[in-house]
Homo-oligomer: A and B are copies of this chain.
Amino acid sequence: MSKKYVYMFKDGTSIKDENERRNTLGGKGKNLCEMTDMGIPVPNGFIVTTEACTLYNSSGKVMSDDIKKQIDECIAQLEGSSGKKFGDPSNPLLVSVRSGARASMPGMMDTVLNLGINDTVADALAKKAGDVFAYDSYRRFIMMFADVVIGVSKHDFEHALDKYKEDKGYKGDTDMTGADWKAIVDIFKDIYRKDQGKDFTTDAKEQLYGAITAVFQSWDNERAFVYRRMNDIPYDWGTAVNVQEMVFGNMGETSGTGVVFTRNPASGENAIYGEYLMNAQGEDVVAGVRTPKPFGELAKDSPDCHKKFLEIAAKLEKHYQYVQDMEFTIEDNTLYILQTRNGKCTAQAALQFAIDLEKEGIITKEKAIQQVDPRALDQLLHPMFDAAALKAGKVLGKALPASPGAAAGKVYFDAKDAVAAKERGERVVLVRLETSPDDILGMEVSQGILTARGGNTSHAAVVARGMGTCCISGCEEIKFGKGEFTLGGETVKEGDYISLDGSTGVIYLGDIKTVPAEIAGNFGTFMSWVEGVKGKMAVRANADSPRDATKALEFGATGIGLCRTEHMFFDADRIPKMRKMILSDTEADRRAALDELLPFQKADFIGIYEVMKDLPVTIRLLDPPLHEFMPTKEEDFASLGKDMGKSAADVKARAESLHELNPMMGHRGCRLAVSYPEIAQMQTRAIIEAALEVKKSKGYDIKPEIMIPLVGDLKETRFVKEIIEKKAKELVDAAGVKLDYQIGTMIEIPRACLIADDIASEAEFFSFGTNDLTQMTYGLSRDDAGRILNDYIENNIYEGDPTARLDQTGVGSLMKIAIEKGRKARANLKIGICGEHGGEPSSIGFCHKVGLNYVSCSPFRVPIARLSAAQAALAGEKFD
């Protein structure tokens, strides 16, 4: 028996596994089958599976005879049940042909309605239901088919229709008579003949095969491509095709069509929300030619159908345990449901739904938790544009939405200018070619950040997300001039207002009003449910300052998983000392400079401990290559030289000698501690002394976790651990106070995973640094990936940036090796993740599966991570 590529709606539920059913039939098809099963009035039809699409696209765009045969059989069944016949003028069967992928991709692919019509069928329909209906339907079909299946421009048809109405002096379609529509049919057929050099096909089967393959091919079109990329939908899923008997909302005033949400998808309010039109086909509701009526009025226009719809809506909400987005058609007072799907909605609405549906007993709390997309929470935590104000905004351009939220402010091109403007009370948007650690202060005072270079993991993006600041990156169209930039044809000068939407990547001219984030009561309720899920990973935050730590606690973090000590050295009063330390010629000079840095570093830790109280704080020793701290401006070399009693040229030469060919794989991380043990000693001293002081002054049970970055060798780990241990012991002994601390490692280079048993023999905890681990595993530097990724995405090699989510196949298998080896060497090894992936839902799911103890992410992603961790725990999957 050959493989089944085509299913009648009534047969779809023979695929028992729901996921398999969706994968095979597409989301729309699955629901049509289920509604059919439930006895809901659905026009009969069949589904050509996603596999048929994949097969078609991978075998030279040819549909196999086997599949055609299966389609023919289903058409025969359709004819049997309806009593109509395909292409038969006496009682013609008309069908719609629609796409339907696994995930809903609204409007992204093509649809053909009224298929099966031709001259004789149209004449027969005219006799049955009037000329207007028949020839309007016919001309619609010609246009859609020619456009979608054959590729004749829709514009030519629309233009001809407009001209016809103009010539006749008609105001709109409603003025058109049956004869007018018949004339239009002829005009359309002429257009087709001119374009194609042959007549419009009258063979219904040929039309059908053509429409089905056109839907298959629409999977390859530009819109679909962009949508998939935006929504992480893999190319190889393919789309199913739904072939359904036509029902007509345009058969007069007892017919109509509508689109309805069972609840309000914007506010979340429990009230039917939607619109309909009498005597219209589906597209008319959306097209805006006539103004649709609010759904409530249907109670007057068609009370029976209104009542019946409400019953069905309630039934479907209960069945799908979620708010439904439905399409219906009334044909001569008979209600048909054309499709239903879970409603897309705002984050606010999603929470409202969750809470209401639970209250109504439709879902459990667990189900509610599983239904909310963690990424949606992000919307709630950042300012948004005022919807009305946004409409007036002029779009300058679009680039990567690197850190969410909305921001408006005056443009400044330099971090110092930004700081000065902020001090004058201005709102600031920092615009830079790219940012560097030098810009940190300027970034901190900005409402939003816009860069011309760099991807989602560039410095600007990473730091902005950490700060919860809106950021758009990689806007390559920006051209910089002196004190200005041009974009989208406009020149924006320093001090001009622009507005950024970090959630969409759109850049607007002018000062668009924003509304602040509102963490409403529902948020709190929902997160308390999340908190109650058993067996979920802990969620910590990456936080480098008391301010970050406070934010982290507010969002429910239960510790700090990564405190990066390097960011602490960029303050204006610290960086010169840091530079002096780095450029010291002798260990003695270096120690002297470190002594100056110690009080600052210690104060940082005291501040963080005081916020975090008894919660764990993981502090990473200095990690970046030292050249990152070096100035780039001549004046800075000069002032530094003056301070050090050297010439500017000497200082510059020394700074340049720190240059590395591949700094990511250079002198950084624990390698710095090996070369300059005094740095690790100073940091240990700051960590331990601060802990002792806060323990003494506040009575908190401070247990610092000291983390060594970039280890890849047993002896190396031991060497650095011994530096820390010796200094820590000395301080604790001298204080005469008991202080527990742990020493652990980042796991961020491939070799560390491969020898994790060795490393775990020394390390008391692991934290995966998947940013670097991913780069090294892929051999792909994120700073240089822009051009490469573009080419890879354009060529369908990658669906998107493969490093944006944890690469479970490659990097993930290294992690599994590390976890297995690590726990073998130390059964109670605590393992977390503190890379960017620690705040990304699918990556968090993976982390749960492989048995991590915690994830750590930027404070603003903590709620997302908490929800993702809860969902992973509820899903309950674990690797063995």
Contact = CB atoms under 8 A, between A and B. Distances in A.
A710 interface: yes
A839 interface: no
Contact of A712 (B674, B755, B778): B778
Contacts of A792: 671, 674, 716
Contacts of A715: 796-798
Contacts of A675: 787-788, 791
Contacts of A660: 781, 783-784
A797 B713 CA distance: 9
- Can you tell how many copies of this chain the complex includes? 2
A662 B781 contact: yes
- Residues of A in contact with B, size category: 35 or more
Given A749-B779, A810-B712, A795 B662 contact: no
Contact of A788 (B663, B667, B783, B810): B667
Residue in A660, A755, A797, A802 whose Cβ sees the most chain B Cβ within 10 Å:
A797
A406 B262 CA distance: 87
A814 interface: yes
A329 B760 CA distance: 53
Contacts of A748: 779
Given A751-B807, A791-B675, A814-B750, A661 B784 contact: yes
B783 A662 contact: yes
- A interface: dominant SS: helix
A157 B721 CA distance: 44
Contacts of A666: 780-781, 784, 788
A652 to B, nearest CB: 19
A777 interface: yes
A813 interface: yes
A719 B749 CA distance: 28
Contacts of A716: 792, 797
Given A777-B750, A784-B660, A719 B797 contact: yes
Contact of A663 (B662, B750, B772, B798): B662
Interface in A371-397: none
A754 interface: yes
Contacts of A781: 660-662, 664-666
Contacts of A791: 671, 674-675
A665 B784 contact: yes
Contacts of A780: 665-666, 712
A53 B779 CA distance: 43
A778 B795 contact: no
A750 B802 CA distance: 15
Contacts of A469: none
A809 interface: yes
Nearest to A787: B667
Given A675-B787, A751-B779, A776-B776, A802 B662 contact: no
A713 B795 CA distance: 13
Contacts of A784: 660-663, 665-667
A545 interface: no
A770 interface: no
Nearest to A674: B791
Interface in A704-753: 710, 712-713, 715-716, 719, 748-751
A660 to B, nearest CB: 4
Contacts of A754: 777, 809-810, 813-814
A775 interface: yes
Interface string A207-249: 0000000000000000000000000000000000000000000
A811 B776 CA distance: 13
A775 B807 contact: no
A748 B796 CA distance: 23
Which 6 A-B residue pairings sit nearest by Cβ, starting from the closest?
A: A749-B779, A662-B781, A665-B781, A751-B810, A666-B784, A661-B783
Given A719-B795, A748-B779, A754-B814, 13 more contacts: A660-B783, A662-B783, A665-B775, A665-B778, A665-B779, A667-B788, A719-B797, A750-B750, A750-B777, A751-B777, A751-B779, A754-B809, A776-B777
Interface of A: 660-667, 671, 674-675, 710, 712-713, 715-716, 719, 748-751, 754-755, 772, 775-781, 783-784, 787-788, 791-792, 795-798, 802, 807, 809-811, 813-814
